[in-house]
Amino acid sequence: MERLPTRNSLPQRLGDFATLAEALDYAALGETGFGFHDGRGALTAALPYSALRSGARALAGRLLVAGLARGDRVAIVAETHPDVVTAFLACQYAGLVPALLPVPTAFGGRETYIEHISRLTRAARASALFVPAALEPWLQPFAAEAELAIFGTLAGAFPETAEERPAPEARPLGEDEIAYLQFSSGSTRFPVGVAVTQRALMENLRSILQHGLRLGPEDRAVSWLPLYHDMGLVGFMLAPLAGQVTVDYLSPQEFARRPHLWLRLISQHRATLSYSPSFGYELCTRRGRPDPAREAPLDLSSWRAAGIGGDMIRPQVLARFAETFAPDGFRREAFVPSYGMAEATLAISFAPLDRGLTTDIVDLDRLEREGVARPAVDDAARLREFALCGPPVPGTELEIRDAAGAALPERRVGHVVVRGPGLMQGYDERPEESAAALSPDGWLSTGDLGYRLDGQVVITGRAKDLIIVNGRNVWPQDLEWAVEQSLATARSGDAAAFSVEEDGVEQVVMLVEARGAPDSAARERVTTEVAGLLRARHGVEARVVLVSPGTLPRTSSGKLSRSLARSRYLARQPTGGADPLAAAFEPTPPA
């Protein structure tokens, strides 16, 4: 199978379209498109934009023949597959609203996954549900109970007689209609549908293509990000389509098994653009460089925009990645820290290109006690390093405000609020939550804390995750990272910190996945070591609880869910399976 080209015969247009359907109509005139790769890195499917358009328009007709009406919702379990892309774009042509749903990898077993997808499908008010063949038996009972008009795989969901009926006229979604529902990752609550209009989407895509990444005709992308996450969907499916760029895909599951495949695809295809949360770079670093005796060398010199987003940026992780892969041509100047969220379609800010990761090292004691990010003047001070995520994209305003809503000056930590043309319409069918997030004058409360420095935004964490101890604002990731860096057996994501109220007092709880602690003596050593570390380094008395490896709960996008970990800790009800917290280890009381 021949790979898709990077260069296009078509003059490049960077998102200057009114709708997604219009963008695909134009991209289909050229030769670029989407390539899909297996766990060996081999190309399994090539989907030029021309074929995507033909398939999407044909499917749009079948959806309408099957009885779906304009504005109906179509839920799609979003494995990394050409059928998912085709179904999503078919909805654009048919005037339907797609909602991409997660695959089972982030969940704790069959029943948990079925319940989750059932709730999401109902929340989307979907009339149709497309699933991979392997999941049909799982979800068939729900589909029958919900009386879905269409259910199954793209190939098997339609009765043969449907082809005999004439299709109603397909009228693509307009600028002010909802382009899709993006379910939030659910790190602090059950996911809700973010309603993004065509107008907001195209505004954000133009910001990404023209300002954030400054695309050119030589650009090519590689992505392992899940298509049901905003960074995967908007950043590496819709933005490349709107810029006529070729993308080579690897599924998140294959990336997790073989992280180097990500780098191998970048090397082989001379890709220039690829993004990952910090943990993706860490996985590659942990595996080390390829063995030249067994594998072809990597060449990462083409990678001009190595983006970081989707979670808190970890400067030390990125520094190790840059050092590890510098001999393979990776330039640390390629790092592009970014800030965004589904409620803003995707992009809010980009760090300047070709400058790499710029950080601010502050006095952690002043940050915790005074809410001010000041450089340390005392050599003995505790330090914290934050990444600068650049200025807001053109047309977007960003302010840092205190609890009363007053704007704060530089280096004062407060609530991050944004306003601009790329914001969501609101949460689908959630007027109260929409009103709480969006002010009457258009400001979105992001739920993040941060500060401004030299015109750039610095994110310090989620407001709901903040731990308040004796008048100090303690960021849970600081405690978690300290454990992961100091505990010899710990990996990234092996710790979760939160607070609970006990007898009117805030009690810090640290959950740690107990790798390499097979017996009670080893577990006691680990809990004592972690408790002592948090006391010495952060002045925090914590109750340390060991849980089985792989049990800390995660969102559909792979982020740690502290809220779910906290609720399971409070419930203390073991439910078995791979995901729930283990109950085998009792908590160690604080010293």
pLDDT at 291 over 50: yes
DSSP-assigned beta bridge partners for residue 444: 418, 438
Residue 584 has pLDDT above 70, yes or no: no
Cα 437 to Cα 445: distance, rounded to the nearest angstrom: 5
User: Which residue ranges make up each domain of the chain?
Assistant: 20-335, 366-463, 466-571
Model confidence, pTM: 0.88
pLDDT at res. 107 = 56
Q: Which residue has the tokens 């800790």?
A: 569
Predicted confidence at residue 588, as pLDDT, reads 37
Average pLDDT over residues 158-181: 81
Is the pLDDT at 61 greater than 70? The verdict is yes
How many Å apart are CA 124 and CA 73, to the nearest integer? 7
Question: What pLDDT was estimated at residue 85?
Answer: 98
pLDDT by residue (tens digit) across 334-365?
A: 999 999 999 999 999 999 999 999 999 999 99
Residue by residue, DSSP assigns 26-70 as HHTTSS-EEEEE-TTS-EEEEEEHHHHHHHHHHHHHHHHHTT--T
Highest CATH level, class, for 366-463:
mainly beta
Q: Is the pLDDT of residue 582 over 80?
A: no
Q: How far apart are CA 49 and CA 37, in angstroms?
A: 17
Number of H-type helices and E-type strands within the chain: 17, 26
Decide if pLDDT at 574 tops 70. no
The predicted pLDDT at position 585 comes to 35
Q: How far from each other are the two terminal CA atoms of the chain, in whole angstroms?
A: 63
What CA–CA distance (Å, rounded) separates 174 from 443? Answer: 24
User: Which one is predicted more confidently, 184 or 519?
Assistant: 519
User: Per CATH, which fold does 20-335 belong to?
Assistant: Rossmann fold (3.40.50)
Can you tell me the distance from the alpha carbon of 522 to that of 503, in angstroms, rounded to the nearest whole number?
A: 31
* Short-list 33, 560, 567, CA closest to 279: 560
CA–CA dist 61, 68 (Å, integer): 10
523 in Cβ contact with 517 (< 8 Å): yes
Banded model confidence at residue 555, pLDDT cuts 50, 70, 90: confident
Cα gap 179→94, rounded to integer Å:
11
pLDDT at 295: 85
Does the structure show a pLDDT above 60 at 152?
yes
Helix (H) or strand (E) holding 468: strand 467-469
| Residue 31 and residue 48 in contact, taking contact as beta carbons nearer than 8 Å | yes
Give the model's confidence band at 190: pLDDT under 50 very low, under 70 low, under 90 confident, else very high.
low
Does CATH place domain 466-571 in 3.40.190.10?
no
Residue 188 predicted with pLDDT over 90: no
Phi/psi zone of residue 577: left (φ > 0), alpha (ψ -120 to 50 degrees), beta?
left
